[in-house]
C-alpha cells in the first residue's frame, strides 16, 4: 500500500495535535459558526486511555503513534488486536477528517482488517483517504513496528455527518 499516490480529497492545513490530557471544554464548532472538527480526536477518551497520539493529519493523510505496554497486550504479550484495530480506525478517520479541511465529521460504517505479525514496541499507524464523494470517504491504513515491518492493515468506509450532532 503506497501513500505517495495523489489524493482525491481536498487539502487541509498542517497540524501536529497530540490529544490534550483533559478533553473537557473542547468545542467542535468555532465562534463564527463554521465547523472545525480538527479537535474531535482529542475528545475521544479511549485514545487517552491507550495513550494513542495523533502526530499528524493533513491533506487526507495521518499518522498515529502508540507505545505498547503490558496492559494493552494479549496472552502472548503482543498488542491486543482491538488496540491495533483502534489505531487503524483512528488513522483512517483522521485522514478522512483532514481530507475535508476539518469541516466535516465522520463515523465508521465499514472496516476490514488483516493482521500480519505480532505488534510490539512503538507502533505507528499511517492512514490515507483514498477516494469517495459527498457522503462517504474511503480510506486505508497500515501499522508498522520499530523495524518498519507491517503489523496490520485495513480498509474502511466513513460516512460524513453533521459535526454539530
Please write the tens of the pLDDT for every residue from 90-144: 999 999 999 999 988 999 999 999 999 999 999 999 999 999 999 999 999 999 9
Q: What is the 3-state secondary structure (H, E, C) of the chain?
A: CCCCCCCCCCCCCCCCCCCCCCCCCCCCECCCCCECCCCCHHHCHHHHHHCCEEEEEECCEEEEEEECCHHHECCCCCECHHHHHHHHHHHHHHHHHHHCCCCCEEEEEEEEEEECCCCCCEEEEEEEEEEECCCEEEEEEEEECCCCCEEEEEEEEEEEECCCC
Q: What is the pLDDT of residues 52-96, one digit of tens each?
A: 999 999 999 999 999 999 999 999 999 999 999 999 999 999 999
Which pTM does this prediction carry?
0.79
Amino acid at each position: 500500500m503506497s501513500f505517495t499516490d495523489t489524493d482525491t480529497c481536498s487539502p487541509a492545513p498542517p497540524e501536529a495535535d497530540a490529544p490534550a490530557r483533559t478533553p473537557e471544554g473542547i468545542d467542535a464548532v468555532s465562534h463564527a459558526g463554521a465547523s472545525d472538527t480538527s479537535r474531535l480526536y482529542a475528545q475521544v477518551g479511549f485514545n487517552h486511555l491507550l495513550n494513542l497520539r495523533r502526530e499528524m493529519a493533513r491533506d487526507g493523510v495521518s499518522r498515529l503513534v502508540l507505545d505498547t505496554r503490558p496492559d494493552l497486550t494479549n496472552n502472548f504479550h503482543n498488542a491486543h488486536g482491538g488496540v491495533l484495530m483502534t489505531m487503524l480506525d483512528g488513522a483512517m478517520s483522521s485522514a478522512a477528517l483532514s481530507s475535508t479541511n476539518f469541516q466535516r465529521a465522520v463515523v465508521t460504517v465499514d472496516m476490514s482488517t488483516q493482521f500480519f505479525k505480532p505488534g510490539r514496541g512503538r507502533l505507528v499507524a499511517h492512514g490515507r483517504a483514498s477516494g469517495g464523494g459527498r457522503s462517504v470517504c474511503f480510506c486505508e491504513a497500515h501499522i508498522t513496528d520499530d523495524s518498519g515491518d507491517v503489523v496490520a492493515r485495513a480498509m474502511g468506509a466513513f460516512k460524513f455527518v453533521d459535526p454539530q450532532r
